[in-house]
Amino acid sequence: MTLAPETTDLKVQLQLADTWFTVCDLSLLTPGRGVAALLPDGRQVAVFRDRTDRLYAIDNRDPFGGAAVLSRGLTGTHQGRPFVASPLLKQRFDLATGECLDDETVRVTAYGVRTAV
Amino acid sequence: MTTTPGATPTIVLVGHGMVGQRFLEALAGRGLTATHRVVVLCEEPRPAYDRVALTSYFSGTSPDELSLTDMRFVEDHGIELYVGDPAVAVDREARTVTAGSGAVFAYDTLVLATGSFPFVPPVPHKEAAGCFVYRTIEDLLAIEEYAKNASTGAVVGGGLLGLEAAGALKGLGLTSHIVEFAPRLMPVQVDEGGGAALLRTIEEMGLTVHTGVGTQEIVVDDAGAVTGMKLSDGSELATDLVVFSAGVRPRDQLARDCGLSVGERGGITVDEQCRTVSDPHVFAIGECALAADGRVYGLVAPGYEQAETAAATIASDEAAFTGADLSTKLKLLGVDVASFGDAHGTSDDCLDVVYSDARSGLYKKLVVGRDGTLLGGILVGDAEAYGTLKAFTGSVPPVAPESLVLPAGAGEAVQLGPAALPDEAIICSCNNVRKGTIREAVTEHRCTTVPEVKKCTKAGTTCGSCVKVLGQLVTAELEASGVEVDKGLCGCFAQTREELYEIVLALRVNTYQELLDRYGREGARGGDGCEVCKPAVGSIIASLAPTIGASGYVLDGEQAALQDSNDHFLANLQKNGSYSVVPRIPGGEITPEGLITIGEIARDFGLYTKITGGQRIDMFGARVEQLPLIWMRLVDAGFESGHAYGKALRTVKSCVGSTWCRYGVQDSVRMAIDLELRYRGLRSPHKLKSAVSGCARECAEAQSKDFGVIATAGGWNLYVGGNGGATPRHADLLAQDLSDAELVRLIDRFLMFYIRTADRLERTSTWLERIPGGLDHVRDVVVEDSLGICEELESLMAAHVANYADEWASTIDNPEKLARFVSFVNAPDTPDPVVGFVPERDQMKPDLPLLSIGMRPATDVLEGSAQR
Ligand code: SRM
Ligand SMILES: Cc1cc2nc3c(=O)[nH]c(=O)nc-3n(C[C@H](O)[C@H](O)[C@H](O)COP(=O)(O)OP(=O)(O)OC[C@H]3O[C@@H](n4cnc5c(N)ncnc54)[C@H](O)[C@@H]3O)c2cc1C
Ligand code: SF4
Ligand code: FES
């Protein structure tokens, strides 16, 4: 069965090894904020949507404090790079690459992410 | 117990004082803590603290604040720290150290950092009750206790420490004497002329100085307590308390006992690498060491250098300690005294330049070489130029030396800024930081503030005497690199918070996107903003919501994306990702049923409970998906959000007031409740706190609040701009004897004026200090209506009050909003596996080890994400 895209809920999918893992309906993401998703192997991913509906996904664990909270940070753009600021001690992470903008020796995993019907 | 050396070599450090701690930091900095087992034996009942700042205990610095030891540092580096356990013996043959507890530690390298002990002259009854020394926190606690029953105190010794101790005794309310054997005060640092200027100033402060006399005997009463002392000139001085401050001696007994060589006058003999000359496995650093240049250094800066040298040597790097400079600056009893370089002019062929004004207690001497090189100097009464002069020592200053010591206004006076210093000049001698390093911190490491530079370079983190010069350098460097200090809120907006507020209010801009796209900086328009401006603008929109036609509910539409993480979840995030919950308890008044409800909820959800400093109850450890369930029960029982998470009104504390208290003159509880209910939910640049006291005894501490109210027989006094926290400030009286209605009206205006004009994260205290005209201007505006805006301010507040709705009640009624309170978007009922708890004192606390393990499979780590 095919449905017109606008009447279907688009799904958010994460790239894992060689499969795409469906996380949730796109409508559950608020532009400018993130959500946490649980992967089958126990890892946690923070998934974000920006104001132009681009999607990003990085590891949810704050490597500085250890808690799994990056999905709850504030997002923004710094010199053209989309980032999330950890709600714990405010270090910023590039949403596209996982690199920490405040400490170049630290990075978190970044995941491929797409929408699919 | 005997510990044998295994595969990892062991470093044992004896003595955890200032130098010992610096040594540990140097070890960690060189990665040696990772390759070595590090054992520390600390004799004192507390880990290393700032002995240099010891006296600040008497001006309110707590022992905890004096601490130099960050327990996380100790844990992170796997350092075994045995507090309260001294080393009692060293067996150099077997290479073991025995501790007082009986434990035996094998070492590959032993580092002695045992410091000094105060020298007590061998006078009769020197150990009587009432005799003290001045070295440790415990000494100070004992002096403080004894002084409660004393009225006079005498200090034996008029050196640097003796003056500090005398100042402290005076501060404790004692009539204070200083007895100095030498003919002048601070004989080591200052010369005769300086001593005279110092003497005059100190006597003017009400201290009695006896120079040129020695202490012969301590006089005691039948119970053996001090009543006075006999002096060498035959006179007797009545005193209840004696502090010996007659110099220090190296603590080298442990070293002597194990056969290490010590100097004739004490001190463990070491070479330029700080290795003992007797044993290559043993080092000595700090005040217990007799350095290669034949001196024992009684200052912290040389000790730090020795610590770095020893650590470098252990790491097989090249380093040497060949001697250090003895510059000191002291500010006590309000007198500045400083000496630097060759203060006494002992170099060949040197000349003195002296300015002296005994009338005003000023004495300044510079020692200059034939070629004009500045060699050293002494400053008494005004040490303003110390930082600059010390840094110029060893070079030819760009202006004539005399112009550097003349007081301002005496014609030639020259203000030589630190900008003129060469890059090699040492700015911070405690930490040996050069001017060049500070400049690099600004130019290369992008530090833009003094705290950042301190963190980056360590300059200014010990005695603090260089901080002023540091500030001047940072500003000069920023200006030089053409940084026009940009007042804009952040990278997205060139306007200040105040300007954005005016735009939002005047143009009725009610979304962040519109504001960014129309008024943001060129490159930021159309973007996603940043973590600085989003919450700031979110707060402006929230505080003006009814007036500009925005929703007053902070989770509505776009506003949800602007809120700081805590506001977004209407709760406070804790270190392990769980949340705390704080219901509002207006004025701190709560019914037994209310208490029971909170207790039941906390029990049912397994939360940790604590009474807060704000007269209410905090429940910790809620998982994000539990928040709505907890709040459904709280709202049912009539509780509301306490906004503990918001830059908003927190609490209005109250004392019990006239209803119960025999002193109360007004009903402070009722007023506190009224005020808390009026201003609840008001978003502001920073949090707002208030309190109402029922009389001038001030049990509610209203003068430490953003707005505080104290009852008077005729009504209420309103105080504004108070602050607790890191930089406490007493509130200023804004208006007196107000009626209820006048009080509320004035607070309305005050708060709205603050919200309108303050910077982001600027509390009322700093705002009041910053705005031009200060308190007088604010009084003109809010009391006299000098700007004609009071009507507007009042109507803005009236709109806020009329539109207030409890955020949590609105949220639990809104299924769409509730959807965000889940652990995982794809597994809403699975709790976050790293949020765990372990028991503590009959309740629970976060399971921190769980955080460091994380739930991360090894492959993830291998991909390069950092592990911490
Ligand atoms: C819970 C509490 C400590 C306690 O167990 O007693 C507390 C806890 C926190 N305080 Fe506080 N403060 C608490 C009373 C105080 C007080 C005492 C008072 O209010 O009378 C002060 C000093 C008074 C003052 O603010 O002037 C205080 C001065 C601070 C400061 C320093 C503010 C300043 O202007 O210097 C901060 C940091 C900040 O806000 O930037 C802070 C920040 C915090 C934060 C928000 C830090 C954070 O971001 O995690 C803590 C959040 C706790 C939480 O998760 O619930 N807390 N804090 C108290 C809550 C009171 C309440 O019922 O709302
Ligand atoms: C009131 C006061 C003000 C001062 N002001 C200044 C100043 O303005 N500028 C300045 O440069 N210096 C100042 N000093 C001096 C400065 O504090 C010292 O130079 C510095 O503390 C020396 O460090 P250290 O580690 O060598 O010795 P300490 O800090 O004394 O540490 C030695 C530690 O070793 C412990 N210890 C001794 N024997 C053993 C053992 N067998 N086993 C285990 N532990 C042991 C001691 O208990 C002590 O805790 C001041 C000192 C005092 C008391
Ligand atoms: S401030 Fe005054 S009225 Fe209030 S409790 Fe204290 S003494 Fe009583
Ligand atoms: S000179 Fe002491 S901290 Fe800089």
Atom of ligand 3 nearest to the CA of B658: 3
Pairing relationship of beta strands B208-211 and B152-156 according to DSSP bridges: unpaired
Ligand 1 pocket mutation pick from B580, B585, B609, B618 by most atoms within 8 angstroms of CB: B618
Would the CB atoms of A61 and B856 count as touching at under 8 Å?
A: yes
B685 neighbors B497 (Cβ within 8 angstroms): yes
Give the Cα separation of B67 and B74 in Å (integer).
Answer: 13
- Joined tokens for residue B403: 């112009």
Dihedral over alpha carbons A14, A20, A26, A28 (to 10 degrees): -60
Q: B453 CB under 6 A from ligand 4?
A: no
Which range among A97-101, B293-297, B330-334, B518-522 shows the weakest confidence by mean pLDDT? B330-334
Closest by CA to B22, choosing from B310, B234, B232, is: B310
Q: What is the pLDDT of residue B298?
A: 87
> What is the mean pLDDT of the segment spanning B13-33?
96
What sections of B347-434 are H helices per DSSP? 386-392, 402-405
Place of tokens 């303050």: B758
Q: What is the DSSP string of B174-243?
A: -EEEEEESSSSSSTTT--HHHHHHHHHHHHHTT-EEEES--EEEEEE-TTSBEEEEEETTS-EEE-SEEE
Q: Does B852 touch chain A (CB under 8 A)?
A: yes
- Joined tokens for residue B353: 């330049």
Report CA-CA distances (Å) from B430 to A27, B54, B299, B395, B581.
59, 16, 9, 20, 45
Q: Is the ipTM beyond the 0.85 threshold?
A: no
B697: CA distance to ligand 3 center in Å? 6
Q: How confident is the model at residue B163 (pLDDT cuts 50, 70, 90)?
A: confident
Give the Cα separation of B554 and B471 in Å (integer).
Answer: 40
Q: Does B621 touch chain A (CB under 8 A)?
A: no
Torsion B259-B263-B268-B272 (CA) sign: negative
Mutate to test the interface with B, among A58, A74, A81 (most CBs of B within 10 A): A74
B513 neighbors B519 (Cβ within 8 angstroms): no
Q: What's the burial of B543, exposed, middle or buried (CB within 10 Å: 0-12/13-18/19+)?
A: buried
Q: B578 CB under 6 A from ligand 1?
A: no
* Residue at B373: amino acid letter: T
Q: Does A101 touch chain B (CB under 8 A)?
A: no
Report the SS3 class of residue B781: helix
B579: CA distance to ligand 1 center in Å? 15
Which range among B421-430, B639-648, B700-709 shows the weakest confidence by mean pLDDT? B421-430
Atom of ligand 1 nearest to the CA of B724: 26
* Residue B496 pLDDT > 50: yes
A66 neighbors A90 (Cβ within 8 angstroms): no
- Joined tokens for residue B747: 């607070």
Q: Does A11 touch chain B (CB under 8 A)?
A: no
Q: Does A96 touch chain B (CB under 8 A)?
A: no
Give the Cα separation of B438 and B450 in Å (integer).
Answer: 10
Q: How confident is the model at residue B417 (pLDDT cuts 50, 70, 90)?
A: low
Q: Does B419 touch chain A (CB under 8 A)?
A: no
Beta-sheet strands, E only, within A1-117:
11-16, 19-25, 33-38, 44-49, 55-59, 74-78, 81-85, 92-94, 110-111, 113-116
Give the Cα separation of B76 and B70 in Å (integer).
Answer: 10
Q: How many CB atoms lie within 10 A of CB A110?
A: 20
Mutate to test the interface with A, among B75, B513, B514, B856 (most CBs of A within 10 A): B856
Q: How confident is the model at residue B416 (pLDDT cuts 50, 70, 90)?
A: low
Atom of ligand 3 nearest to the CA of B668: 4
B185 neighbors B211 (Cβ within 8 angstroms): yes
* Residue B868 pLDDT > 70: no
Q: What is the pLDDT of residue B391?
A: 79
Q: B337 CB under 6 A from ligand 2?
A: no
- The pTM (predicted TM-score) of the whole model is 0.54
Q: What is the pLDDT of residue A64?
A: 87
Distance from CA of A2 to the nearest CA of B (A): 24
Query: What is the distance of C-alpha B615 from the center of its chain?
Result: 25
Report CA-CA distances (Å) from B441 to A100, B444, B446.
21, 6, 6
Q: B115 CB under 6 A from ligand 2?
A: yes
Report CA-CA distances (Å) from B841 to B609, B838, B844, B845.
12, 10, 7, 9
Q: How confident is the model at residue B97 (pLDDT cuts 50, 70, 90)?
A: very high
- Joined tokens for residue B27: 């070890």
Give the Cα separation of B290 and B271 in Å (integer).
Answer: 9
Q: Which ligand is nearest to the CA of B427?
A: 4
Atom of ligand 1 nearest to the CA of B612: 6
> What is the mean pLDDT of the segment spanning B770-776?
86
Angle at B255 between CA B250 and CA B256, to 5 degrees: 90
CB neighbour list of residue B338: distance below 8 Å, 6 or more residues apart: B327, B328, B329, B330, B378, B379, B380, B383, B386, B390
- Joined tokens for residue B569: 């979840």
Q: What is the pLDDT of residue B189?
A: 74
Mutate to test the interface with B, among A15, A22, A25, A69 (most CBs of B within 10 A): A69
Q: What is the pLDDT of residues B625-650, one digit of tens each?
A: 999 999 999 999 999 999 999 999 99
* Residue B7 pLDDT > 90: no
Give the Cα separation of B443 and B350 in Å (integer).
Answer: 39
* Residue at B190: amino acid letter: V
Would the CB atoms of A37 and B830 count as touching at under 8 Å?
A: no
The C-alpha R_g of chain B, in whole angstroms, comes to 32
Nearest protein Cα to ligand 1, atom 61:
B614
* Residue B622 pLDDT > 90: yes
> Which of B825, B835, B864 shows the shortest C-beta gap to A35?
B825
Give the Cα separation of B553 and B560 in Å (integer).
Answer: 9
The percent of residues above 70 in pLDDT, for chain B, comes to 94
* Residue B258 pLDDT > 80: yes
Q: B430 CB under 6 A from ligand 4?
A: yes
Q: Which ligand is nearest to the CA of B84?
A: 2
Would the CB atoms of A66 and B565 count as touching at under 8 Å?
A: no
The answer for A 33-62 residues in CB contact with B (under 8 A) is 33, 35-38, 41-44, 47, 50-51, 59, 61
Q: What is the pLDDT of residues B343-384, one digit of tens each?
A: 878 877 788 888 877 777 788 888 888 888 888 888 888 887
Q: What is the pLDDT of residue B342?
A: 84
Instruction: Give the DSSP letter of residue B759.
Output: P
CB neighbour list of residue B141: distance below 8 Å, 6 or more residues apart: none
CB neighbour list of residue B554: distance below 8 Å, 6 or more residues apart: B538, B542, B560, B563, B567, B646, B683, B807
Q: What is the pLDDT of residue A8?
A: 59
* Mean pLDDT, rounded, of chain B: 88
Q: What is the pLDDT of residues B570-615, one digit of tens each?
A: 999 999 999 999 999 999 999 999 999 999 999 999 999 999 999 9
Distance from CA of A1 to the nearest CA of B (A): 25
- Joined tokens for residue B71: 């327990």
Give the Cα separation of B509 and B133 in Å (integer).
Answer: 67
* Residue B475 pLDDT > 90: no
Which chain A residue has the Cα nearest residue B857? A43
Q: What is the pLDDT of residue B485?
A: 60
> Which of A33, A77, A87 shows the shortest C-beta gap to B573?
A87
Instruction: Give the DSSP letter of residue B58.
Output: G
